[in-house]
Amino acid sequence: MLGAEIAVRRPGGIASLSICNSPASMQLWVEGAAELRAQLPADVQAALTRHEAAGTVEDPEYVAATQVFYERHVCRVVPMPADFVASEAQMEAEPTVYHTMNGPNEFHVIGSLRDWSVIDRLHRVDVPTFVVAGEHDEATPTTWQPFVEQIPDARHHVFPGASHCTHLEQPEEFRRVVGAFLADHDAQPTG
pLDDT digits (tens, 9 = 90+) for 47-79: 999 999 999 999 999 999 999 999 999 999 999
**35 phi and psi, to 5 degrees?**
-65, -40
Cα torsion 68, 74, 78, 81: sign: negative
3-class secondary-structure state, position 189: coil
What's residue 91's pLDDT? 87
Task: Supply the pTM of this predicted model.
Answer: 0.89
Examine the pLDDT at 86 and tell me if it is beyond 60: yes
Domain boundaries, the chain: 2-25+116-184, 31-114
CATH of 2-25+116-184, one of 3.40.50.1820, 1.10.645.10, 3.40.50.150, 2.60.40.290: 3.40.50.1820
Mean pLDDT along residues 84-92: 90
Q: Are 146 and 25 in contact (CB under 8 A)?
A: yes
Amino acid identity, position 71? E
What's residue 190's pLDDT? 52
